[in-house]
Amino acid sequence: MAERKVVRVTKGRSGWGGPLLLAESDTRKIVASVTGGGIHPVAQRIADLLGVEARDGFSTKVEVSEMICAVIDCGGTARCGVYPKLGVLTIDLHAITPSGPLMKFMNEENFVSGVKLEDIAMADGSTPPLPVTLTRDERKAEVKAIKEEVNREMASKQSPVVALITKLGRAVGGVVGAFYQAGRESVDIVIKNVLPFMAFISMMIGLILYTGVGNVIAEAVKPLSGNLLGMVVLSFIAAIPFLSPVLGPGAVIAQVVGVLLGVEIGAGRLAPSMALPALFAINAQVGADFVPVGLTLAEAEPKTVEIGVPAVLFSRLITGPISVVIAYLFSFGLY
């Protein structure tokens, strides 16, 4: 009895889900291409590796019970959830995450997106889709050749008008899908990251203003704002890791000391050359409250956040005072 072939499909760049393991069974013997305009190269590649038939799901009816998998090009509306709901392993050519009215049926065990030809290989590694010895340019050339061969075969079965319409439809669909996914991800980021951060900042500002802790600290550091050494000390204090995240949201030191320095410079009691170093001295804490949020938006790993937050906060203890000194040197000749 011949050994059963198993194909491994992994997510592409910016894709989601998977990996999926595909194999022929007694009832499931067809790779369905539900992309419009014939059989897509990805569907054909999977079928070739499995030694089964690839069938155009638009022109020929394919029973769900016969599908090994469904290859789709949905930008995140209905099709991406239909086949997972029906119990069919789904491969989306667009790099999307679960979306649409049927998104609850999509998970990493039945859905993978952003798939390209190079993301398909035999599970045992015996027959990779593209030889690993190829250079990057050669690999691109082979992928292009495979696509062109399949497209020529599709075009030979279609009239020129239908082929043109199909080509235009795919191009427009790709652009629309990309913009749709970008808009959906933007809304998702706003809801999951930006709005909670704004709520946190509002709470911190309210706490600082209500307790008056910021004003107490600002009044205490006023005497340091009249000379270079004092400003270096001020920047060091503002950058202390356990203070900077608290001082950042309300910008208390920046407001109080900034107004004080502006009045003193305007009255002629403080040299205008102190304005530039003062700018860096009173802003050493800026952004300290945003570090964990920024790392989260960058999709950093939990370990990276755990190490990165204190690393950035402690680095401000060094860069804060240094920036004041550099600003003081650059202030010569400005006024």
Burial (CB count within 10 angstroms: exposed 0-12, middle 13-18, buried 19+), residue 290: middle
Which of these is catalytic: 74, 204, 247, 327?
Answer: 74
Amino acid at 271: A
CA dist 313 and 130 (Å) reads 46
CA dist 234 and 282 (Å) reads 7
CA dist 122 and 124 (Å) reads 6
Is the distance from CB of 38 to CB of 22 less than 8 angstroms?
no
Peptide bond into 19 cis (omega under 30): yes
Other CB atoms within 10 A of residue 36 CB: 17
CA dist 328 and 219 (Å) reads 23
Catalytic, 69? Answer no
H or E element in which residue 31 lies: strand 30-34
CA dist 335 and 329 (Å) reads 13
CA dist 257 and 106 (Å) reads 54
Alpha carbon 237 to its chain's center? 35
Helix (H, G, I), strand (E, B) or coil at 52: coil
CA dist 287 and 276 (Å) reads 19
Alpha carbon 282 to its chain's center? 33
Burial (CB count within 10 angstroms: exposed 0-12, middle 13-18, buried 19+), residue 160: exposed
CA dist 261 and 225 (Å) reads 7
The encoded tokens of residue 120 equal 């398909």
Residues with a known catalytic role: 74
